[in-house]
Structures are given as C-alpha cells and as structure tokens.
Chains A and B, each alone.
Chain A
Amino acid sequence: MRVRPPASALIGAAIVIVMVAAIILAPWIAPYAESQFIGGVWDPPGATSWLGTDNLGRDMLTRLMYGGRNTVGIAAVTTAIAVVLGTALGFVAAAVGGWVDNAMSRCIDILLSIPVLISALMVLSVLGSSVPVLIGTIGILEATRVYLVARAVARTIAVQEFVAVARLRGEGLAWIIGREILPNALPPLIAEAGLRFCFVVLFIASLGFLGLGIQPPAADWGSMVRENAQAINFALLAPLYPAAAIAALTIGVNLVVDWLLSMYARPSGHALEL
C-alpha cells in the first residue's frame, strides 16, 4: 500500500526542489549576471529587481541564486565527505572493537574537544581560504560528529547474533560493515546526514560572515548577510533575504528527512506481536 506523504513532507520537498532548481539553473534563469551592477545601493524591490539591490547595487535575487550555488553546492559535497568518512571510521571502530576502537575514539575526542569554528579558523588562516580547503576542513571536522553517531549505532548492531553468525562464517570486515551493519544503520544515518547538511550550511555561512568563506566577488549566503548587514540600520530587508534562504533550506531539508525516516522505519508486514 502506497502511503501518501504528509503535508509537512510535501512542503519540505517543494521548498528544497524550488531552491535547488533555482540554484542549478541560475546562469539561465537569473535576471542578471552574478556581479552586474544594475542600480543604486539598496534599491527597494521593484519591477527591474524583485528583491531590490545589494550594498553595491547588484540584483539581490541574482546574487541569492548564485550564492546558493556556492553555499549549497559546497555544503552538499562537504556533507557527503563528512558522512562517508565518519560512517566508515565509526563502523570500523565498532566492528573491530578493542584497542583499535580505543585509539580511534581517543583521536576523535581530541578533535572534538576543540570548538569546530576555532579549528576551522586556524586551518583556513594558515592555508588560506579556497574551495578545496574549505571542503576538506569542514568535511573532516563534521566527520567527527558523524563518527560518534555511526559508532554508537553500529555497536548496538554489532552485538546482535546475525553479526555473530557472519563472524563465525569467517566473513571479512567489509562484509560485516557493508552488508550486515549498514542496512540496519541507515535510518539514524539518514537523519544524521540531514542534520549534518544543515549544520554545514550554517558553518559555511558563518565562515562567509566572518570573511573566511567564499571570497568576493563570488556570492555566498553567509557573506551576503555580512555585506548587507549595515542595511538593517536603515530598516531595510536586504540582509534578511540570504538569512531567510538559509532558514528555508534548512527547514525544507529537515521536513524531507523526517518523512524519509518514517518511510524507512515503517514495519514491513510484521505480524502483530501477541
């Protein structure tokens, strides 16, 4: 029986699809070029620019679409790296156990003990801010969080008897991790991936706001908030547009993830336990 997704999931999916489409299609559908000056500073919304202009007289809507390419694109790649790396390490630690688990977990603890923003600022000020460095740094830092979740989940699965059966059969680590543990660990990992994506978007935006993210004239939502922050003083909405874009995307992703989880957790024809 096909279950109709709840309204919240449809709203979330609509938000995500519209935003992602707008971001991907930016070069074709955006009203202007990324850094084209079209009017005065902080012009109010009007027929020529639907959301007004920014601090340098560029079209806000165009900047948002191009900014999203950077923010969301980098966040997606970074999240993928963080989830794959964190999950792989967490699973190995849980499946092997013993001193391997101890050594890995203590190393991760060291990374965890330093606030991520501080670590990122250190790395980025030494290596300079470029897209690969940004992705690598945030990916590794966020992977430590994924590691904790993946290890905890995998430990509860690794002690179950079907894993014992696989070990007794003589299966290698790859099978145990990939075939026995992973399929059962997916629901919490999907949730974690969604959550991580939101954190990464915020992280990139924070770095952008601090001037360590994507460098101008390229746009990203975080630096757009900073560039337009002064407009608040004049009761203008300019900085709120990129902020709203971040909020909308985060909420949309969360709604979709909630729905995915409920789909996966739905029991598949279990007889009623009596």
Chain B
Amino acid sequence: MVLRIEGLRVETQSGTVLVDGVDLELARGEVLGLIGESGAGKSTIGLAALTFARPGCRIADGRIVLQGTDLRSLDARGRSRARGVRVAYVAQSAAAAFNPAMTLLDQVTEGPVHHGLMSRAAARQRAVEAFRALDLPDPEHFGARYPHQVSGGQLQRAMAAMAISCSPDVLVLDEPTTALDVTTQIEMLAHLKKLIALYGTAALYISHDLAVVAQIADRIMVLRYGKMVEVGTATQILTAPRTDYARALVAERVAASRSVSTSDDTGRGTTLLAIDNLTVRFGERDVVKAATFTISKGETVAVVGESGSGKTTLALAICGQVARHSGNVYLADTAPAPRPSGNVQPASAALAPGNGDSLRLGGTLLAGRLSRRSREQLRRIQLVFQLPDVALNPRHTVEAIIGRPATFYFGLRGAALRARVTELLAAVGLDASLASRLPGQLSGGQKQRVCIARALAAKPDLIICDEVTSALDPLVAEEILKLLRRLQEELGLAYLFITHDLGSVRRISHRAVVMLQGEIVAEGPAAEVFGQPSHPYLIKLLASVPELRVGWLDEILRGRAGTLAVPNELITP
C-alpha cells in the first residue's frame, strides 16, 4: 500500500464535521476515483492526503499513512517536505494555481530544486521530458513561456508536469478536467492516464462526473455529506451499484448520455423570435457571424458550442445587452394570426433579408439597443444566467428579487404581490418560507430556482438560459432541467438554451444550433443534428462526450491513434 487513510475526520473550527470516518487504501499505480456532489468532502479528503486542511478547518482524527509513515505524526517541516515531493496536487483551475509573473519552467522546476532533490539543470531536463510526454508544443522551449501565453488545456498539462516533477508516490487530481471543454477534456484525460502509467504513481482522482472517473479509475469511492457511501471497482459501481445514492448518480449520468428524448415533438408552432443575419463585431473580429434561425412558441432551441464560440454573445445581442453590427431580430406581436400547422419553413427562407417577410409574420423589429426597446418587449424576453451567485443581488431578499418584476411590469403591490411571490416560489418548487432569506443563505440549486422564478415573474414568452446548469452538481442540474421542462409544458414557454453540455441539450431541446468560432455550422431538429451529424466539428464534439462505461476512452484513443499522439501501449494495460 502506498497510501492508507484510516478513520479520517476533518472539522471546521466551529465543530462542523466535513469528513467523518473515511478509510481508503491506494496501491502503487492504482487510481481511486472520488465521486460526489459539492460538499461531499471529496476535495477535503484529497487535501488531507497532503495532511493539509483549508483555512478554518483542521484534521481532527485519523491516520494518514504514506509508505509506512503516519504523516500526522510528522512535524510541520516533515509534512511540508512530504507535500509536493511524495504527494502532489493538481487543482481544478490551473490558471489560478500558476504565478502569472514567472515562466512555466521556473514554476515546474521550483519543487525539486527547492527540496534539494536535483540540480536546476537536471530538473530542467526532467521538465522537458514531462512536457514531451504531455505532447506540449516545442517541449524544449515551452517552459520559457508565461502562463497567459498558453491555452487553458496546455496550462492544465503544465500543471500536471509540475505535479510529477518530484516523482511523487501519490498524485491528488482535483477535478483536473472540469474547467475544460469536452474536446480538450478528452486529451487531458488521455495525458493523465499516460503520465500515471509512465511514472507508476498512485492517484486520487476527484470529480463529480462519473463518466470521466470511469475512464481513469480502477476503483471508485462514492461520497456524500463527508461519509463514504460505497466503494468498489469501476465496473461494479457503473454496472451494479449497491446503494440507492450510487444508483441515482449512475441513473442521472445514463439519462445525460441517452439520445434525444423530447424531440419527438417536432411540429413547430408559430414563430416567436426570428434572428436574421445577426452579426456582432468586437473590434475587427466577428464574434457572431450572420446568425440566422427562428424560435417558435413553446419550443426549446439549444445553442451548442465550446467556450469562445460566440453563443453567449449571441444571446446578449438578442437581449440588446451587446450592440449588433448588422442583421435584425424580430419578435412576434403578442397575438399573431394562427398559422396553419405543418407549414414549416426553413428560417432563412421565411426571413430572407429585406423581403418584408417579418411583417407577414406579424413581428416587430427589436431595436439593437436595450434603451430603445419598450418595456413590453423587454418583459417578453427574460434571461437566466450561469452563475446564480452573481445574478442575485446579495442584499435583496428572495421576496424582493422575485417580486420586483411583478411590481415593475404588472404593478402588483401589497397582498397581491405577496400572493404572486408565493405562487412563483411554488412554481419553481421552493418553500414559501424561503421568501425572507438572502441569497447567501440558499444553496446553489435554490439560487438558480430563484433566478428562474424571477424570470417567470415577468410572464415572458422566451427565456434565454445561459449555461444555467453548468455551475450545478449533476443531480441538482437534472432537477433544474426537469423544472424547466415542466414549466414549458405548463406555461408554453420558449427557451433559448445555451450550453456546452451536450447531455443537457439532448434532454431538453427540440431544435439545436451548433456554433463554431461565431458561425452556425449546423441547425435543425435536435434528433437530426445529433443523430446524423454532418459537420466534422460536430462529429468530433459528439465523440468527445464521455460515455458511462469503462474502457470508452481507450476505444476512442485507439480509434484516433493517429491524430492524438499518445502511444497505445501506454493507454491499454
């Protein structure tokens, strides 16, 4: 056993127990996945392996035995030596972990040189080897760059190089791919796998995504509220989970990777919003290039793309928050003449520029600038943001937050307003007693529900959802998606659902728009777009979504062995 943790107990200074009675064992070259929602204590356990506790917390009890020595019995000096040398840590955000003022090489070689393990030249040699093993471009000179001069995926790999610079016995990988796009994530995973095989280190792999862990871990431990729920081999957890909680986690992930379930309803209603050749330009660059599509009443249109593909900018341009360079956005009048069903026209034909078709649709041209739009136009399009923490005013109560649109648009006050707030809270599945709380007193999922309730308060026709589930835990995200679907059925809302998470797209959208570098590369019914992907980018994107089975990554990598330069013999045991 390389690492053995027994009866670990971590508490805050005020006595709240974060992790209680966790035991784990890690053999040489073995990878143990730690799975659970935020607050489950995954990271706390990972840090405890370094005998480190976050400020305000302390390791209250338990043994942390590394190669026969109990790290807790060491003095501060001994512990600090063990950290980085024998146990190394890779954090979720490499950008936050690197010093922006030092070159990558200086930071990667700092550990071994500081601990006196090797000379600067030898450390440099090793760093270059690691850069090469990690397929970083120009490994000889890669280290001369500063953190801001490399991409997010490269920085994450550089961090892995830093972690193994002292040849540690144990690597603690804390959500190392969570902040990456799916296509980058798959490469990072492959490289981590290769690194672990190459150096024979043991690893704790912390993640909330079961499918990711399944690709790299030999065994998986499921955690909840700081306690171990279940532990077993990766295959056993995936195929035959013994506890209810583990079953729920697996079921959620299975639902995420199932093919389109809502798209059977493809009969489109009347057009609600038409986007015609919309271009947004920042400086010289077109962030959104001639986007054209329509959203019908009561349907969900997903906009899919990696970060930087222009999907959020597109949403903000529709809202009027960002000025558009050219193109038009039309919003159907409140009571449009009913159109015969089945008369489905491609968006571009219905709204070719300048042919006056928008008038035939009974639509009104929306002004590019927010300040030029009428209150009624603003009311009908509402936005829900990705991070509920910053989308809610921390000094306003839930009641004030939800009640304001009701007062602002409909003039509700007093008892009528309170009744409306209660009704809205009930609609999003929140208890009426939460009305007097401040956002800081709510959980992430509750906050997002408050954001949705605030949007509903305006009685909108269209809600633009900008990555509304990506900051949430999988099970909470699943609940939010269910809520959105239910509200759509009850209220006939249309959604513009912006996301990089293909799993949620499959579950919620009727139609999909795929964006790549500001351009729409695929558009149509979700079943068609994802069922028969036509654009190479989309094919690659779909293939990069981890599937919930052991060995998926290996198959993918074998399939594209030529394109991804990771030798196969290192990937498959």
Binary per-residue interface labels of chain A (147-167) against chain B in the complex, 1 for a CB within 8 Å, 0 otherwise: 000000000000011101101
Contacts of A268 in B (CB 8 A): 438, 440-441
Please indicate which of the listed interface residues B18, B392, B394 has the most CB atoms of chain A within 10 Å of its own CB: B394
Closest to B43 in A: A274
| B434 lies within 8 A of chain A by Cβ | no
Q: Are A160 and B390 in contact (CB under 8 A)?
A: yes
Given A180-B393, A184-B393 in contact, is the A169-B405 Cβ separation under 8 Å? yes
Contacts of A164 in B (CB 8 A): 321, 383, 385
Near A by CB (< 8 A), chain B positions 392-434 give 392-396, 404-405, 408-409
| B375 lies within 8 A of chain A by Cβ | yes
Could you say which of A160, A168, A170, A271 contacts B321, with CB atoms under 8 Å apart? A168
Q: Are A165 and B408 in contact (CB under 8 A)?
A: no
Closest to B387 in A: A161
Q: Are B408 and A171 in contact (CB under 8 A)?
A: yes
Binary per-residue interface labels of chain A (245-272) against chain B in the complex, 1 for a CB within 8 Å, 0 otherwise: 0000000000000000000000111111
Near A by CB (< 8 A), chain B positions 470-502 give none
Closest to B57 in A: A272
| B378 lies within 8 A of chain A by Cβ | yes
* Complex Cα gap A162–B402 (Å): 12
| A217 lies within 8 A of chain B by Cβ | no
> How far is the CB of B458 from the nearest CB of chain A, in Å?
7
Binary per-residue interface labels of chain B (359-386) against chain A in the complex, 1 for a CB within 8 Å, 0 otherwise: 0000000000010010100110011010
> How far is the CB of A162 from the nearest CB of chain B, in Å?
4
Contacts of A183 in B (CB 8 A): 393, 395-396
Closest to B39 in A: A274
> How far is the CB of A136 from the nearest CB of chain B, in Å?
33
* Complex Cα gap A79–B133 (Å): 64
| B456 lies within 8 A of chain A by Cβ | no
Please indicate which of the listed interface residues B16, B43, B320, B440 has the most CB atoms of chain A within 10 Å of its own CB: B440
Q: Are A270 and B440 in contact (CB under 8 A)?
A: yes
Closest to A162 in B: B393
Closest to B395 in A: A183
Interface size bracket, B side: 35 or more
Closest to B439 in A: A162
Q: Are B378 and A170 in contact (CB under 8 A)?
A: yes
Q: Are A271 and B443 in contact (CB under 8 A)?
A: yes
* Complex Cα gap A168–B41 (Å): 38
Contacts of A184 in B (CB 8 A): 393-395
Closest to A164 in B: B321
Contacts of B320 in A (CB 8 A): 168
* Complex Cα gap A271–B445 (Å): 13
Q: Are A161 and B396 in contact (CB under 8 A)?
A: no
Contacts of B438 in A (CB 8 A): 268-269
Contacts of B390 in A (CB 8 A): 160-162
* Complex Cα gap A171–B378 (Å): 10
Given A168-B370, A170-B378 in contact, is the A272-B12 Cβ separation under 8 Å? yes
Closest to A171 in B: B408
> How far is the CB of A154 from the nearest CB of chain B, in Å?
14
Could you say which of B16, B392, B408, B441 contacts A162, with CB atoms under 8 Å apart? B392
* Complex Cα gap A161–B373 (Å): 20
| B319 lies within 8 A of chain A by Cβ | yes
> How far is the CB of B453 from the nearest CB of chain A, in Å?
13
| B391 lies within 8 A of chain A by Cβ | yes
Binary per-residue interface labels of chain B (7-26) against chain A in the complex, 1 for a CB within 8 Å, 0 otherwise: 00000100010100000000
| B184 lies within 8 A of chain A by Cβ | no
Given A169-B378, A269-B441 in contact, is the A274-B44 Cβ separation under 8 Å? yes
* Complex Cα gap A184–B440 (Å): 13
| B454 lies within 8 A of chain A by Cβ | yes
* Complex Cα gap A167–B369 (Å): 11
9 further interface pairs, Cβ-Cβ under 8 Å (given A168-B383, A268-B440): A167-B370, A168-B319, A168-B382, A169-B379, A169-B405, A170-B370, A184-B395, A268-B438, A269-B438
22 A-B pairs whose Cβ atoms sit less than 8 Å apart in the complex: A161-B390, A162-B392, A162-B393, A165-B385, A165-B391, A167-B321, A168-B378, A168-B383, A169-B378, A170-B370, A170-B375, A170-B378, A179-B396, A180-B393, A183-B396, A268-B440, A269-B441, A270-B441, A272-B12, A272-B16, A274-B18, A274-B44
Please give the residue numbers on chain B whose beta carbons come within 8 Å of chain A beta carbons, in ascending order: 12, 16, 18, 38-39, 41, 43-44, 56, 319-321, 370, 373, 375, 378-379, 382-383, 385, 387, 390-396, 404-405, 408-409, 438, 440-441, 443, 454, 458
